[in-house]
Amino acid sequence: MSEQDMSEITLPFCQIDDEGRMWRRPEESEWCEVRNSEIHGSGIFAAKDIPVGTPIMEYVGEVIGKEESDRRGLDRMEHANKTGDAAVYIFIINDDFDIDGSYEWNIARLINHSCSPNCESAIDEDDRIWLSAAEYIPKGAELSFDYGFDLENYLDHPCRCGTDNCIGYIVGRDYWKGLKKLEKKRLAKVVGKAKKKDKGKKKRKSGKK
């Protein structure tokens, strides 16, 4: 569908501005608050006990068509590859629309990654994206979810989630098997190089050639 045809379609719970841009705006959530995080920078924390399955906060931002989304996604990936900044805040809504949540007022963008996440994203019948509780979350706990990153440039994204399960890098659970293989190879190379260096040192000490 062309971008022009897209302008004929609207989604529920959207506001359209004077330029015809479609927005989903935030509502305050009773369940969470922003605080400093031990994982990284700012994070989102449970303001009270949260039962499993609770929609905690909506992922809001500008609702855009797929062509615009591809354009923005590519731009930001290029920027991310240059700077190491992994932030691309675009979520898929449905076959026609994505949502760009890269706005300060989209508090949901502050949720940190964890290898043992307590939240997941869920899309409701109105195509709204929610971060919802994947388990019972006690008051004060930091909310987290699986960023689902693939293995590209994984070394640039060390994980500091601090859970017993931590795989060491911000990589989605679906890629852990591949990650373990890559890490095994990488570490074998590192150990091989260190051994070679050590052997060289010993030879020099004993005067052998």
Q: Which one, 63 or 161, has the nearer CB to Zn ion?
A: 161
Q: Quick one: which of 46, 93, 129, 170 contacts ligand SAM (CB under 6 A)? A: 170
Q: Which residue has the tokens 């906060």?
A: 57
Question: Does residue 161 touch Zn ion according to CB under 5 A?
Answer: yes
With a CB cutoff of 8 Å and minimum separation 6, the contacts of 6 are 65, 96, 97
Question: Does residue 69 touch ligand SAM according to CB under 6 A?
Answer: no
Q: Quick one: which of 16, 87, 155, 188 contacts ligand SAM (CB under 6 A)? A: 87
* Interface with ligand SAM: number of residues (CB under 6 A): 17
Q: How far is the CB of 33 from Zn ion (least distance, A)?
A: 23
* Burial of residue 119, with CB atoms counted within 10 A of its CB: 0-12 exposed, 13-18 middle, 19 or more buried: buried
Rounded-to-integer distance, Cα 48 and Cα 34, Å: 13
Q: Are strands 144-145 and 32-36 parallel, antiparallel or unpaired?
A: unpaired
Question: Does residue 129 touch Zn ion according to CB under 5 A?
Answer: no
Which string of x and - marks every residue 43-82 that binds Zn ion (by CB under 5 A)? Answer: ----------------------------------------
**In terms of Cα–Cα distance, which of 30, 27, 59 is closest to 46?**
30
Question: Does residue 171 touch Zn ion according to CB under 5 A?
Answer: no
Q: How far is the CB of 40 from Zn ion (least distance, A)?
A: 11
Question: Does residue 112 touch ligand SAM according to CB under 6 A?
Answer: yes
What's the per-residue H, E or C state across 75-110?
HHHHHHHHHCCCCCCEEECCCCEEEECCCCCCHHHH
Question: Does residue 11 touch ligand SAM according to CB under 6 A?
Answer: no
Give me the count of residues in the chain.
Answer: 209
Rounded-to-integer distance, Cα 167 and Cα 162, Å: 10
Question: Does residue 159 touch ligand SAM according to CB under 6 A?
Answer: yes
Question: Does residue 86 touch ligand SAM according to CB under 6 A?
Answer: yes
- Give the interface with ligand SAM as residue ranges (CB under 6 A): 37, 39-43, 86-87, 109-110, 112-114, 159-161, 170
